[in-house]
Amino acid sequence: MTEIQPSRLQNFPISWFAVVMGMTGFTIAWHRAETLFALPVKPSPILLGLTVAIFLVLAGFYLAKAIKYPDRVKAEFGHPVKLNFFPTISIGLILISIAVLPYSATISFGCWAVGAFLHLTFTLYVLSAWLHHTHFEVAHINPAWFIPIVGNILVPIAGVQHASPEISWFFFSIGLVFWVVLLTIIFYRMFFHHPLPAKLLPTLFILIAPPAVGFISWLQLTGEVDAFARILYYSAIFLTLMLMTQVRRFLRLEFFLSWWAYSFPMAAITIATFAMYHQLELAFFKGLGAVLLVLLTLLIVVLAGKTAQAVRRRAVCIED
């Protein structure tokens, strides 16, 4: 008897939305570079259109999964790792609002308002799940746990343009406080328990994102590179250097969708470096930003190629 293969839709993972985060960060980084270097070629509008299309396609697939296989979605909500990827949907909207802002304040506001509200909802849900869980263990903790809570730090980047600064301070405060708390727990888990499984090793790059994004948001809220801004930026730079020393270990890993965890943090530190140059006008930061943008571009090309190859081989959207 022929074995009935499960539908790929029912195994469509929520982690797909990490692609949107990476692509949006890539788009914003190129837009900053176009302005900073006065580039004659401007790829960012094309990248923005592609990113929005990817988001809409992924949203359509996941909505179809939710309608046809609600039990699968419920199972992901109860999973100690997958639960933390649901806020990538709201973060995607917030990032799109940042990328769209130079072209349309109205569309940007709509994406930002929906994204911020949705992210606050996810934050409250995830915190409730953590507080009242019965099956989470220290071994389940990994840097992906930053996504639901620390993602709040992103809100002020476009938020200061759309609403009272007090709203942006509210979200920034949530993200900053829980970043410190979760960073302590995650380092405790990595120092004193078993190493992360290979599939989750790329999530180590998520460590870069909170201080890098926090630096950008702090600039939006305060308008200057003060002592705290420097602490955030140089913390992100140190974490980037630390992870770069492990590059051989990462290159040996088998491809998973979790590889997209490399992309947004690299985009964040690139954008932060461009912002540092814009504020201080030191040539070092301009050069470093250019190097990081080249690395980010190569990374996105590799990730896109690996993802396309995995889709063709039906190596994604399969049972874990």
Residue 195 lies in a domain: yes
For residue 117, being part of any structural domain is answered with yes
pLDDT digits (tens, 9 = 90+) for 203-214: 899 999 999 999
Amino acid at 122: F
Is there a domain that residue 256 lies in? yes
Both tokens of residue 219?
A: 């600039």
Q: At 67, which CATH number?
A: 1.50.10.150
Amino acid at 303: L
Amino acid at 130: W
8-38: pLDDT as tens digits: 888 888 989 999 999 999 999 999 999 999 8
Radius of gyration of the chain (CA): 19
Q: How many domains does the chain have?
A: 1
Q: Which of 65, 70, 69 is nearest to 15 (CA)?
A: 65
Structure confidence at residue 195 (pLDDT): 82
Please say if the pLDDT value at position 58 is more than 50: yes
SS3 290: helix
List the domain range (segments joined by +) for residue 256. 9-312
Give the tens place of pLDDT for each residue, 230-258. Answer: 999 999 999 999 999 988 888 888 888 88
Alpha helices in the chain (DSSP H): 18-36, 44-68, 70-77, 87-100, 105-131, 146-150, 155-162, 165-192, 209-222, 227-244, 247-251, 263-280, 283-312
d(CA 122, CA 128): 10
Predicted pLDDT of residue 320: 64
Helix orientation angle between 209-222 and 155-162, rounded to the nearest 10 degrees: 20
Q: Does the residue 320 lie in any domain?
A: no
Does 3 fall in a domain?
no
The share of the chain scoring above pLDDT 90, in percent, equals 66
318: in domain? no
pLDDT band at 5 (very low <50, low <70, confident <90, very high): very low
What percent of the chain has a predicted confidence (pLDDT) above 70?
Answer: 97
Over residues 253-282, the mean pLDDT reads 92
Selection from 217, 223, 249 nearest residue 95 by Cα:
217
Does residue 297 lie in a domain region? yes
Is residue 2 a part of any domain in this protein? no
